[in-house]
Amino acid sequence: MLGQASIPFVGLVDTVAIGRTGNAAALAGVALGATVTSLIFWTFGFLRMGITGMTAQADGAGKSGEVEALLVRGLVVGGAIGVALLVLLWPLRELAFALFAGGAETTAGARAYVTMRFFGAPAALAVFAVTGWLFGLGRTRAALVLQLVMNAANAAFDVAFVFGFGMGAAGVGLGTALAEWVALSTGLAIVTQIAGAGPLALARKAGSGVLWARSAIAHLFAVNLDLMVRTIALLLLFAWLANAGARIGAVALAAQHVLMQFVNVAAFVLDAFAFTAEARVGAAVGAKSRPRFLRAVRLTSEFSLASAVLLSLASWAAGDLTIALITTDPEVRTAAKHFLPYAALVPLIGLPSWMLDGIFIGATRGKALRNAAIAATTLYIVVDLLLRPLGAQGVWLALWAAYAFRAAGLALQLPALVSGLSAEPSVEGAAKGG
């Protein structure tokens, strides 16, 4: 939970750094730029999710060689995709801003932010693989250290570039990009300590025949292609959400971005249980044990529900003070405070979808995740269009509906997942303490 709670602080620090300047247009620019960057970077979020599930399953089945090979594959694929994104910066950026609404000043800030963020693309995507591998092994303490280092670096760079050099939105983007390179260096040191050797040594140990075996690569891309489609669908959903705020105006978009920091903190904290479910469910599926699977689901869901209640109450109680700390613009503060109750209820509404995501990712049921995400995004857009006359209130109600659609789509497929597991734990699973 501590590790997950620290993840959204990268975005929160970015928001506070620019929000304390009192410039609503600059804050809206960072909001729009962060949406564009997330849309592009997290298209490849399968490097985190797919590696987690496959690592957990390989570990649950006692295949230590495959566990090491998955780390190397993830780093190579992530780094290569990141380099490709950096090369394609100009066309990707121009296409994104041709699709997103926003005033001239907002778009200018967003463009500067995106340009700088892309210099961290290779590191960001490689860190996805490192984080997924750590979660798959249940090494949450190591993941916490990695994230805390990135947060500290990001905060220091943001303060230096925004307040020291007056770089505005571009400084926020550059600070985050540099922090991602610091995080990658830290991550490589951590996995070297855990594995007993660095990625290059692990690659030599496995040999190219094992590392790039056709069956292993086919499985990697079969799982990850579905996760990629699923991620794109969900990113389009949140891009549509950001665009909905931009249509209403810079103040509305800035206020929405401030409140989304509450949502992000809650989502990442509760994802701690979902990620635990990924590792435990993956190990249970690897051992083909229904009892281990059901126990993992029950325990993580119970703790997650209790935490969701506490997070909603905390958001409600400390919301006004937090909004005042994030931004100094009076109009943005007023708008954010008005819609705070909608953000405060998201932990309870979003909880089922986040937990079911973790369960299906751990089981590497990519098709189920893909289909649920596509259906949820499609239905969300329909609801958003129907609720447009309600303005900003309609935007938040449509977001609530999106979480409900995601949960329903996965819940319908849960019985089939359970029925595919053995009612008795395997001998190997029992030996691992299932």
Task: Write down the pLDDT at residue 400.
Answer: 95
pLDDT in tens, 320-331: 998 988 888 888
The tokens describing 108, both together, are 């200018």
User: What phi-psi label fits residue 343: left (phi over 0), alpha (psi between -120 and 50 degrees) or beta?
Assistant: alpha
Low-confidence ranges of the chain (pLDDT < 70): 1-12, 21-23, 100-103, 209-210, 217, 223, 246, 422-434
Domain spans, the chain: 2-431
CA neighbor of 187 nearest in space, from 131, 124, 119, 117: 131
